Structure 1
Amino acid sequence: MVSEYRKSGVDLNKLKDIHREVASMISSTYKRTILGAGHYSGVIEINNMKLAIHVDGVGTKTLLAKRMKKYSNIGIDCVAMNVNDLISIGAKPLAIVDYIAIDEPSEGIISEIIQGIVSGAKEADADVVGGETAVMKDVVNGFDVSCTAMGVVDKLITGDDVRPGDVLIGLASNGVHSNGYTLIRRLLDQGKLSWEDWGEELLKPTRIYVKPVMSVLHLIKGAGHITGGSFSKLRRITKYSLDITLPEPPAIFKAIELAGVPHEEMYRVFNMGVGMILFADKTNVEEILRILNPFVPSFIVGEVGNDLGKIRITTHKSELLYV
């Protein structure tokens, strides 16, 4: 069956094949790399210092910002998509550079985006050290924005020491964050999802998890930023089977599902109210939750199984299996 996301123009399986090919090609350059493509961030080692680097944008969420003429949240999104991936391997964000491509100079748009980037950088305790603005009328229609973030690693967490019986802790999302917007825009354009009812909700910025995750870094074994591909990205952390039970999702996800996206596909595309998952020994869970909850609502969502196998997700409606 062709998924709604694929009908919208995004084939996740094809993207995975492309990612594998790219990872194979770039691996021939590795000289200082200790963690290459395939995890949340790359890591190199120079003079006994481990530096992490990541690059990302906010996808077609920019088109919603353009439609609603609100741009600062997009800047926060851009920072969040990078720093949340840095902390997923244990890196403390240090510096950010931005890249804005725009069809014609617009001081208002650029200023708002930068204001958002600055706001996000302050939340992540990182410096914005520069960037580039390119006017490319023949290449872009509107604008696009991306960031590159660098961090330093004291404790690298890749999930290598995750074991059966370890507990999964979910950190609440701030809504849809920055993934699945090609599908969402299709629903909006078809009139199945209302701009008036959901436009502001859909522009809410991605939650930045730097402070809570760095505060418990010494107590966790792995961290997974739930973005494109949703919970399947937890495979970057462990091949053990995972039993996950998720709470009823926030209203925006129910509205998207009612607009025509199958229940199972919702959990393959969106974060469903959980933007980050931490892996920890059960003896540390109580302390982790005590530290996390003043920052962000956090709760136990599952456990690592005894075998190498599938991700099983129990929702408020049914049980789903992922390879």
Structure 2
Amino acid sequence: MSKYTDAGVDIGKQRELHSKIAEMISSTYRNAIVGAGHYSGVVKVGTQNIAIHVDGVGTKTLLSLKTGIYEPIGVDCVAMNVNDLVSIGARPVALVDYLALERPMEDVVEQLTKGLVKGAKESDAEIVGGETAIMPGVINGYDIACTAIGVVDSPKLGNDVRPGDVVLGLGSNGVHANGFSLVRKLIDEGKLSLKDWGEELMKPTRIYVREILAVLDKVKAVAHITGGSFTKLRRVTKYGLELRMPEPHEVFKEIERAGVPHDEMYRVFNMGVGMVVFTDRENAEVLKNFLSRYHEVFELGQVTEGDKIKIITYKNEILYL
């Protein structure tokens, strides 16, 4: 059986490192409203609250080199940032990108840029600059990251989430851009066919900006499901959660059949849910009806007393995260 740690990624140790970094950088805060540890940082500049986030696409870039599919990676880079901005209620405004290349790769850069532009337009953000560096001996193939800024009146951090609140899930577009070190391990071992699943794996991360911004007045909190999967919900609330997960895309079942333990799937991948929305019972139906115009919407469950995240999987197994 294959776990994320077997592929070289230890989420627990990564969290420990994040905590150390957050403690160290907190000494720089002067105008920070939201520091490290949430989906985006927020700093007050004059009378305006500016939200900022930086992220990349991870080792999905290596899979793009094998498949020759690059444009979705540009969309991924935008999505991983703007989805995190909107998770605190911020409206994305601008992006800059950083592209590091092993060697000049004009065709790759053109396709990546097309993806960046597509993602920026979908999230109503402007790409106002960036940096391209040729770094032989440092970079294997290429790496790409974005920094995104947004504006927010009052950050939604989940402070008013309470037991009894409803938890909704918005459908994902597939694997998105997380867990690819594990996916690549399965491919390298011959347990998962890149020929059969390459196009499905390379689908871009879904962007949820417009629909979330349209319902901000009816939601209490929003959580983008990325690295660490549903443990990310801890950024939103320390209360308990009881969630019944939907039937996932076939690609997740194939990854599991390739040798990933069932419980590990829910600790690594989004399992068909790309964004989670918290709301009160009064607004739940209104939100479901509106959001279903954009994506498949699942009523996953509710916030509970206590502090355990209980997940009932599509196989009706019970997991605690």
- TM bracket (short chain): over 0.9
Distance 2:110 2:249 in 1: 32
SS in 2 for 1:175: coil
Once the two structures are superposed, the pairs formed by residues 48-67 of structure 1 within 5 Å of their partners are: 48-67=47-66
Q: Which amino acid aligns with 1:319?
A: I
Distance 1:81 1:238 in 2: 21
Partner of 2:312: 314
Count of aligned positions: 320
Is the Cα–Cα contact under 8 Å of residues 174 and 205 in structure 1 kept in the other structure?
Answer: yes
Is the Cα–Cα contact under 8 Å of residues 246 and 298 in structure 2 kept in the other structure?
Answer: no
User: Where does structure 2 lack aligned partners over 5 or more consecutive residues?
Assistant: none
Partner of 2:101: 102
Q: Which amino acid aligns with 1:70?
A: I
Is the Cα–Cα contact under 8 Å of residues 212 and 296 in structure 1 kept in the other structure?
Answer: no
- Which consecutive segments of 4 or more residues in structure 1 shift more than 2 A? none
2:288 counterpart of 1:267: no
Superposed CA RMSD? 0.9
User: Relative to 1, partners in 2 of residues 1:310 and 1:3: Cα closer, same or farther, differing over 3 Å?
Assistant: farther
SS in 1 for 2:252: helix
Shift of 1:3: 6.2
Distance 1:71 1:186 in 2: 20
Q: Which amino acid aligns with 2:294?
A: F
Shift of 1:47: 1.4
Shift of 1:138: 1.7
Partner of 2:80: 81
2:67 counterpart of 1:68: yes
SS in 1 for 2:51: strand
Once the two structures are superposed, the pairs formed by residues 1-323 of structure 1 within 5 Å of their partners are: 4-307=3-306, 309-317=307-315, 318-322=317-321
SS in 2 for 1:129: strand
Distance 2:292 2:10 in 1: 36
Q: Which amino acid aligns with 1:41?
A: S
Shift of 1:150: 0.3
Distance 1:208 1:279 in 2: 18
Q: Which amino acid aligns with 1:250?
A: H
Q: What's the CA shift string for 1:147-192, capped at 9, x where partnerless?
A: 0000000231000000110000100000000000000000001110
User: Relative to 1, partners in 2 of residues 1:292 and 1:155: Cα closer, same or farther, differing over 3 Å?
Assistant: farther
SS in 1 for 2:305: strand
Q: Which amino acid aligns with 1:274?
A: V
Q: What's the CA shift string for 1:256-304, capped at 9, x where partnerless?
A: 0000000000000000000000000110011111211111111210100
Distance 1:69 1:86 in 2: 30
Is the Cα–Cα contact under 8 Å of residues 166 and 280 in structure 2 kept in the other structure?
Answer: yes
Q: What's the CA shift string for 1:223-277, capped at 9, x where partnerless?
A: 0000000000100110000000111111000000000000000000000000000
Distance 2:282 2:173 in 1: 28
Is the Cα–Cα contact under 8 Å of residues 215 and 291 in structure 1 kept in the other structure?
Answer: no
User: Where does structure 1 lack aligned partners over 5 or more consecutive residues?
Assistant: none
Range with greater deviation from structure 2 (22-31 or 43-52): 43-52
TM-score (norm 2): 0.98
Range with greater deviation from structure 2 (310-319 or 3-12): 3-12
